[in-house]
Amino acid sequence: MADAAVTAKGIPRDVDKPAAVDLLRQMLLIRNFEDKAAEMYAKGKIGGFLHLYNGEEAVAVGAISVLRKEDLVVTHYRDHGHALAKGSDPGRCMAELFGKATGLCKGKGGSMHFCDASVGILGGYAIVAGHLPLATGLAFAFQYQGKDNVVLCFFGDGATNGGDFHEALNLSSLWKLPVVFICENNLYGMGTALRKASALLDIHKKAAAYDMPGERVDGMDVFAVREATARAVAAARAGEGPTLLEALCYRFRGHSMADPVLYRGKEEEHVWRARDPITTLRARLEAEGVLSTEEYEALEREVTTRIEEAVRFAEGSPEPAPEELYTDVYARP
Amino acid sequence: MPVVTFREAVAEVLREEMRRDPRIFLLGEDIVDYGGTYGVTRGFAEEFGEKRVKDTPIAESVIIGAAVGAAMGGLRPVAELMNINFAMQAMDQIVNSAAKVRYMFGGQTSAPVVIRTAGGSGVQLAATHSQNFEVYFAHMPGLKVAIPATPKDAKGLLTTCIRGEDPVLFVEHAALYGTRGEVPEGELLIPLGQAEVKRAGKDLTLISYSRMLLLVLEAASRLGKEGIEAEVVDLRSLRPLDVATIVTSVRKTNRALIVEEDWYSFGVGAEVAARIQEEAFDDLDAPVMRVAVEEVPLPYAKNLEKLAIPNVDRIIAGVKRLLGR
Ligand SMILES: Cc1ncc(C[n+]2csc(CCOP(=O)(O)OP(=O)(O)O)c2C)c(N)n1
């Protein structure tokens, strides 16, 4: 599963120590953001649907870590992690959840629709698989303009059974577009297990139908995700076309805050929790002598402070003005 | 009469009809282990088995297409489209297959498919999850659209739909599932195309359907305290549309206000207003008016969302505008 370039315990050669620590910092930031969002949801500060990313941090962080700033990310409604990994400000992210004017989308998008063009995150989309064709088009725009940028497109396993998946992968491959499709296979689409929804369980093998490379990576291992994405991105930049990556992972919480998670076993959850991408990375860095316990605790404090600041920023921000209801419907009124 | 929730009324019909007719089967996303997003089919797989209660992938086009095929093959599918917002994924199958196989094949086949789906706005789900698309489907000849507001109507209409010979979209407002009401025991069939006067009055007619009916009734009772007697008509189905009941009421009150949880332009209100002008122009003392959703995709922020969707105050203001007060 994990590639040979990544030793079982160690840190890949192309990742220096500060970079490795930064990956951990980003994953911690996402985890803290999500836990705080859950808390704020329980307090009624956040409305609508809230889909959290706990457990899947290594996928967003590993994959996005190989991107340039001008590269684009499009993703689904479980989008906080991708935005934070691409560099969105946690305060503006939290403000969006609070429905405040200072939010990423001025409070109009909410949890499922984070968009931050300034850092290249071109949207979270809430219609399953609906954004895959958009990734195709964005990649075409890069190709057309002669740019060597790429698009990373994230989606769940459930999205791979819809028609848009087929159409987007086929066209992307046909036109050799610079897009990397990353399936976050967390084994469930809402309460439906993958085995009940997909005739083929090896999602990466679906790539064969589109004559593109397909590969499965360990989505709990940030270095494995990073390594595989780096290869796919390099191929895309070189004009070789798209890749389908399947990151095997697990969402630690329910599908959304409304989900009591009655459809999967506690044992299964324990097995995956034991592979928590954050604790395993921490252990790895400590074993390599890259990170001391004190340094880790300092990281945690740093991240906690940033998230507290984010909440304070969101709390202190104004609601959108009533006139905002009518803005941005058209380019010009 | 027993008082039950809208959810229980729908579930009860499905259960009774499945016991009665072995050709009926359910298919949809997350209806087995999850029990349906809104809990309607909880326990169904245990009672009827997974041969008749079938989970599907997130693939709306094939859910509806397969339901149509199964119906043409002699079965009686009840397809659950998790949410009407996802009906767009199945648009082609609904519009070009379900609605047309009878007509374009000269009556040789039919697609008696019931598509149950949840609709509605108002819980901060933002632009793609807060849409009321029933009008898209009411536009299509060949398809029927039922959209009850009360548990009793849900029972009576759904039973009719399931036993009927035509494809129908049955829209359940997500915010109505927990509402309660009296529902007669035993068999109840309410034909589609029969609106109901839910409250009698003489000063104006308020026309509505689905969740907006509850707000309209509340507005009517508040107006009653001010001496304004509003008659309230619940459409209950959009196709067929019961023009006769609407017109009879307008002939009596001479004024009409339509209240809908959908955009103002090109909506159900526009259709109903046109029908009234056609059939009761001489009886009108004022133009037919509408209270509807603001012409914007729905925003997430709570304060903005509230401004976008009709509420009781806006309905009352609309009534006063209509009455020139
Ligand atoms: C077209 C469409 N159908 C149904 C839904 C409702 N829905 C939202 S998320 C979801 C499950 C998606 O699962 P998956 O793609 O595996 O992503 P995950 O949530 O596991 O990250 C469903 C059915 C939707 N949003 N869009």
Please choose, from the candidates B303, B310, B212, B207, the residue with its C-alpha nearest in 3D space to the C-alpha of residue B264. B310
Ranges under pLDDT 50 in chain B = none
In this complex, is the C-beta atom of B299 within 8 Å of any C-beta atom belonging to chain A? yes
Strands B204-208 and B196-199: unpaired
Distance CA A48, CA B275 (A): 37
Three-point CA angle A19, A25, A30, nearest 5°: 130
Closest residue by Cα to residue B140 from B191, B97, B84, B188: B97
pLDDT (0 to 100) of residue A6: 42
> Residue written as tokens 């006769």?
B244
Neighboring chain A residues of B304 at a CB cutoff of 8 Å: 99, 107-108, 319-320, 322, 324-325
Among chain B residues, the shortest Cα distance to A321 is held by B304
**Would you say B251 and B275 are in contact if contact means Cβ atoms under 8 Å apart?**
no
Phi then psi for residue A14, to 5 deg, are -85, 0
CA distances from residue A287 to A10, A221, A291 in whole angstroms, order as listed = 8, 16, 8
Would you call A211 exposed, middle or buried from its count of C-beta atoms within 10 A (0-12, 13-18, 19+)? exposed
Distance CA B39, CA B30 (A): 10
Partner-chain contact B58 A196, CB within 8 Å: no
User: What pLDDT was estimated at residue B35?
Assistant: 85
Q: Rounded to two decimals, what is the model's pTM?
A: 0.94
Look up the ipTM and state it. Answer: 0.91
d(CA B58, CA B38): 16
Instruction: Report residue A137 CA to chain centroid gap.
Output: 20
For residue A23 the two structure tokens come to 């990956």
- Tell me what pLDDT residue A266 has: 93
Beta pairing partners, A93: none
Residue B89 CA: nearest ligand 1 atom is 1
Give pLDDT tens digits for A148-194.
Answer: 999 999 999 999 999 999 999 999 999 999 999 999 999 999 999 99
User: How many angstroms separate the CA atoms of B112 and B161, rounded?
Assistant: 9
Tens of pLDDT, residues A133-145: 999 999 999 999 9
Bridge-based pairing state of the strands A121-125 and B114-119 = unpaired
Question: Do the Cβ atoms of B57 and A161 come within 8 Å?
Answer: yes
For residue A159, the chain B residue with the least C-alpha distance is B58
How confident is the model at residue A4, as a pLDDT? 38
With CB atoms and an 8 Å threshold, state whether B89 touches A163.
yes
Q: What is the pLDDT of residue A7?
A: 41
A43, A79, A111, A128, best to mutate vs chain B, most B CBs in 10 Å: A128
The DSSP call for residue A161 is: G
Residue B314 CA to residue B297 CA, distance in Å, equals: 19
Q: Which residues pair with B237 in a beta bridge?
A: B146
What distance separates the 2 farthest-apart alpha carbons in chain A?
60
Ligand 1 centroid – CA B280 distance (Å): 47
- The catalytic residue among B60, B134, B261, B271 is B60
Cα A306 to the center of its chain, rounded Å: 20
Contact A50, A107 (CB under 8 A): no
Length of chain A: 333
- Annotation says B139 is catalytic: no
> Could you count the other beta carbons within 10 Å of the beta carbon of residue A319?
15
Q: How far apart are CA A242 and CA A110, in angstroms?
A: 30
CA–CA min distance B189, chain A (Å): 34
CB-based contact A106:A117 (threshold 8 Å): no
Q: Which residues of A touch B294 (CB under 8 A)?
A: 325-326
Searching chain A, which residue's CA lies closest to the CA of residue B57? A197
Q: Would you call A319 an interface residue with chain B, using a CB distance cutoff of 8 Å?
A: yes
Rounded CA separation B102/B84 (Å): 24
Q: Say yes or no: A263 contacts chain B, CB-CB below 8 A.
A: yes
Contact B27, B66 (CB under 8 A): yes
* CB atoms near residue A91 (< 10 Å): 22
Distance CA A259, CA A261 (A): 5
Tokens matching residue B18: 């499945």
Which residue ranges of chain A lie beneath pLDDT 70? 1-9, 333
